[in-house]
Amino acid sequence: MSRDDLSTERDVSAMSTVSNTTFTERPPDGPVTLTDSGSVSPSVISRWNPRELLLTMLFLAPAVAGLGAFVIFPLFQAVYLATMGSDILGNPTRFVGLQHFAELLTPDFGAVLLRTAGFTLIVVVAGVVLPMALAVPLSQRLPGMRVFRTLFTLPFAYSASAASVVWLLMLNPAMSPVNWLLQLAGVSAPGWTTDSGWALVTVAGVTVWMVSGFNLLVLAAGLAGLDEQVLEAARIDGATGVRNFTSIVLPMISPSLFFVIVTTTLTALQSLGQPQVMTDGGPNGATSTLVYSIFNQAFHNNNSNYGLASAQGLVLLIVGVLLAAVQFGVIERRVHYR
Amino acid sequence: MSRLNRPGPATSAFTYIWLVVAAVVLLFPVLLTALGGFLPSIDLLRQPPNLLGHYTVASYVGALQQTVVPLLPAFGNSLFVGLVIMIAHLVTSCLAAYALVFLRTPLRTPLFWLFLATIMVPYEAIVVPNALFVRSLGIGDSRFALVLPFLANGFGVFLLRQAFRQFPSELRDAATIDGCGHFRFLFTILLPGCRPAIAALAVWSFLQGWNMYFWPLIISSTNNSLNTLQTAVFALRSNDSADPGLLLAGITITLLPTLLLVLFGQRWLVRGFTAGAVK
Instruction: Please give the domain boundaries of chain B with CATH numbers for all domains.
Output: 71-228+258-278 (1.10.3720.10)
Could you tell me which of B232, B22, B197 has the C-alpha nearest to residue A155? B22
Over range B128-135, report the average pLDDT.
Answer: 92
Query: Is residue A317 included in any domain, yes or no?
Result: yes
* Dihedral, B219, B225, B229, B232 alpha carbons, nearest 10: 90
Is the pLDDT at B275 greater than 70, yes or no? no
Q: How far is CA B30 from CA A35, A160, B38, B203, B265, in A?
A: 53, 14, 14, 21, 19
Q: Are residues A159 and A27 in the same domain?
A: no
Residue A85, H or E segment = strand A84-86
Task: Write b or e for each residue in B44-82: b if 16 or more Cβ atoms lie within 10 A of its Cβ, otherwise e.
Answer: bbeebbebeeeeeebbbeebeebeebbbeebbebbbbbb
Q: For the whole model, what pTM was predicted?
A: 0.85
Closest residue of chain A to B16, computed from CA coordinates = A137
Per the structure, the count of domains in chain A is 2
Is the pLDDT at A15 greater than 70, yes or no? no
**Which residues are within 8 A (CB) of A325 and not within 5 positions of it... i.e. 6 or more apart?**
none
**Which residues are within 8 A (CB) of A50 and not within 5 positions of it... i.e. 6 or more apart?**
none
Q: Are residues A156 and A264 in the same domain?
A: yes
Chain A residues in contact with B254 (beta carbon < 8 A):
159, 162
Which pLDDT belongs to residue B174?
A: 85
Are B273 and B200 in contact by the 8 Å Cβ rule? The answer is yes
Q: Is B174 on the interface with A (CB under 8 A)?
A: yes
Are B133 and B64 in contact by the 8 Å Cβ rule? The answer is no
Q: Domain of A27?
A: 1-47
* Dihedral, A300, A292, B210, A168 alpha carbons, nearest 10: -90
Query: Is residue A77 included in any domain, yes or no?
Result: no
Over range A93-100, report the average pLDDT.
Answer: 84
Q: Are residues A140 and A208 in the same domain?
A: yes
Are B93 and B153 in contact by the 8 Å Cβ rule? The answer is yes
Q: Are residues A114 and A259 in the same domain?
A: yes
- Between A6-20, A117-131, A306-320, B15-29, the lowest mean confidence (pLDDT) is in A6-20
Could you tell me which of A176, A152, A181, A166 has the C-alpha nearest to residue A273? A166
Min Cα distance B118 → chain A (Å) is 7
**Which of A20, A93, A161, A336 to probe the B interface (max B CBs under 10 A)?**
A161
Q: Is B143 on the interface with A (CB under 8 A)?
A: no
Q: Are residues A178 and A281 in the same domain?
A: yes
Q: Are residues A43 and A117 in the same domain?
A: no
Question: Considering CB atoms only, which of A159, A168, A291 is closest to B230?
Answer: A159
* Dihedral, B200, B209, B112, A318 alpha carbons, nearest 10: -120
Q: Are residues A175 and A307 in the same domain?
A: yes
Is the pLDDT at A32 greater than 60, yes or no? no
Query: Is residue A66 included in any domain, yes or no?
Result: no
Which pLDDT belongs to residue A226?
A: 81
Query: Is residue A53 included in any domain, yes or no?
Result: no
Over range A216-244, report the average pLDDT.
Answer: 83
CATH number where A292 lies:
1.10.3720.10
Q: Are residues A24 and A119 in the same domain?
A: no
Q: Is B240 on the interface with A (CB under 8 A)?
A: no
Could you tell me which of A147, A131, A137 has the C-alpha nearest to residue B2? A137
ipTM confidence score:
0.90
Q: Are residues A30 and A105 in the same domain?
A: no
Q: What single letter denotes the amino acid at residue A95? A: F
**Which residues are within 8 A (CB) of B75 and not within 5 positions of it... i.e. 6 or more apart?**
B229, B253
B154 and A174 within 8 Å at the Cβ level: the answer is no
Over range A127-139, report the average pLDDT.
Answer: 93
Query: Is residue A32 included in any domain, yes or no?
Result: yes
Min Cα distance B55 → chain A (Å) is 18
CA B31 – CA B23 distance, rounded (Å): 11
Query: Is residue A128 included in any domain, yes or no?
Result: yes
pLDDT digits 0-9 by tens, B58-106: 889 988 888 888 999 999 999 999 999 999 999 999 999 999 988 877 7
Query: Is residue A150 included in any domain, yes or no?
Result: yes
pLDDT digits 0-9 by tens, A179-203: 999 999 988 888 898 898 999 999 9
Query: Is residue A184 included in any domain, yes or no?
Result: yes
| CA-based radius of gyration for chain B | 24
A218 and B270 within 8 Å at the Cβ level: the answer is yes
Q: Are residues A42 and A112 in the same domain?
A: no
Which pLDDT belongs to residue A282?
A: 80
**Most confident range, picked from A75-84, A235-244, B8-17, B49-58:** A75-84
Q: Are residues A168 and A285 in the same domain?
A: yes
Length of chain B: 279
What percent of chain A is predicted at pLDDT more than 90? 44
pLDDT digits 0-9 by tens, A199-221: 999 999 999 999 999 999 989 98
Q: How far is CA A204 from CA A119, A127, A161, A267, A282, in A?
A: 6, 9, 14, 11, 14
**Mean pLDDT in chain A?**
82
Q: Is B10 on the interface with A (CB under 8 A)?
A: no
Q: Are residues A318 and A206 in the same domain?
A: yes
pLDDT band at A35 (very low <50, low <70, confident <90, very high): very low
